[in-house]
Structure formats: C-alpha cells, structure tokens
Amino acid sequence: MKKSGENNSQAYTSSLDHSAAPKRIAFPGLEDHVLCASVSWDAEKDGGNRKDRAKAKVITLLLGYLESPVKDLWSSGESCNLSFQGAFRITNDPMGRPLLICGPLCGLSISFSHLLRSTWGALSGGGYGLGLDAATPMDFGEGYPYSKVFHQDEFDLFCRQFETREKGAAALWAAKEAVVKALGCGFRLISPLDLEVTSRTGSVPDHRFVARIANLAIQKIPGISVEAVPLHIVEEEGIYLAVSVLGVKRN
C-alpha cells in the first residue's frame, strides 16, 4: 500500500483472454455497491509484470460488467459484456487508496489482492473507501502468532463460524486487511489488535461482520471518524475473501 499523500498514476489498456479464467464474485448484501471478480495468471507466461497484467485483466472484466444491463450483473449466464476496449489508469487519493479513471468514469474506488497465482479486484462508485483482501488457511498453521494479531474473543468467533482454526484465522486476517485498505492507513498507522471484528447481529447468522476500531487508533488515521466498519466475507474454492466499503449502509 502506498504511503499517505502519494498520488502516483499508472496507465493500463484493456486486456482479457481465455487463459485468465475470469470469475464473478458476489458479496451478499453488497450487490448494488460493489463489483468483484478474479483472474488467474501464469507465472511463466506473464513474467515479472504478471501482477500488473492481472490487474489490467481484472479491470477489463469489471468495466465489462459495469457496462452490462443491471439484470445481468449477477446472473449465472455469460451475458455480461467482456469486450470492453479502452484505456484506463489508476491514481491514488491523499490516503494512498487506489482510484480508477476511465473516460467519464472518474474516481471509482478499486482494490486488489494477489494470492496463489490469482488476482482479485473489487470496484465501487461514490468515492467510498474500499478494501479487498484474500487469505488462505495454508498460511495459518502451527506456530502462527495468533495472539499478536487476533483478540481471543474474535478468534473464537471465527473458529466457530468457519469450522477450524486455520479457516477462521484466514477469514479474520482477510477481514482486518480489508478494513485497513478501506481506511487507507494499512498496518503502518494502527496494529491488527486495534481492530476487533464481531458478528453484525451477535448471533452469527451469516458472513457479515463489523470491525470496531480502538479509540486511540482512530486518532492516528487522518480524516477518519468512524468507530465501526462493515465487512462481508465469502469463501471461494478454499480462499477467504473479505471486502469492506466505507459509507455504505449495511443491509
């Protein structure tokens, strides 16, 4: 994540091929606010700039969905427009959060996550802070310092909801990363323990959560006054994806 105040801009051109294995991803309750998709990439074929190529493919996919009829956005068919052609660029807001510029579409919030030869991207309008992160249970085995990043209550909650310690840790870490991306502060201004994730209703009926920010931590984040940030989590083929969108009312 870029440091606060940086405003670098990177240009891309539309790019999508059949080898990208594109997928649409729906976060229940956020269908009207967030588009999310992923592509896979080949380390040998795409070379050292594979992440940039993957970003271009994801953006092409997301803009294609954006141009499609609303009724087709989340259908199971292949009616979405995947033939978007054009140039776009990514710049950053004062907090370093990426923004997508594409013709008349200016300042769309966008967020990426790279994991296991796949790249995920989420797109939202309205100038919201947006954060997306992916995590795998394979990264949370024996010896992981859980107590340094998770509160015991939230960890217990996630282990119950996601069935095992490793799955719960992956979902919880993705959630915390998504929150700091949405806030634009990363873990350079606050620590993982400054966030505590709880069930939205307290009874864990679904995968919607709230991350509460410690009062002292709020003071460290420029321009942020919220005390709680909404979260949505989904599982995709063993990968846990979390998205957080500031300014969107929880459904």
Better-scored residue on pLDDT, 243 or 53: 243
Tell me the pLDDT band of 237, cut-offs 50, 70 and 90: confident
pLDDT at residue 170 above 70?
yes
Q: What is the DSSP string of 93-109?
A: -TT--EEEEETTEEEEE
16 and 119 in a common domain: yes
Q: pLDDT digit string (tens) for 46-61?
A: 566 778 888 888 888 8
For residue 175, the enclosing domain spans 135-245
pTM of the model: 0.82
Q: 48 with 148, same domain?
A: no
Q: Is the pLDDT reported for residue 87 higher than 80? A: no
What residue type is assigned to position 130 of the chain? Answer: L
Which residues, 6 or more positions from 227, have their beta carbon under 8 angstroms from its beta carbon? 212, 213, 215, 218
Do 114 and 142 share a domain, yes or no? Answer: no
pLDDT of residue 211: 93
Residue 28 pLDDT class (50, 70, 90 cuts): confident
- Return the SS3 of 180: helix
Q: Is residue 38 part of a domain?
A: yes
User: Of 128, 153, 188, which closes a domain?
Assistant: 128
Tokens of 161: 């909801």
Nearest to 134 by CA among 237, 239, 39, 3: 239
> Is 119 within a domain?
yes
pLDDT average, residue stretch 165-189: 94
Together in a domain, 124 and 176: no
For the segment 114-132, the average pLDDT, to the nearest whole number, is: 85
With 80 as the cut, is the pLDDT of residue 62 above it?
Answer: yes
Assess contact for 122 and 99: CB atoms under 8 A: no
d(CA 246, CA 228): 9
Domain end, chosen from 75, 104, 128, is at 128
For residue 29, count other CB atoms closer than 10 A to its CB: 18
Query: Is residue 126 very low, low, confident or very high in pLDDT (cuts 50, 70, 90)?
Result: low
Last residue of a domain, one of 103, 128, 153: 128
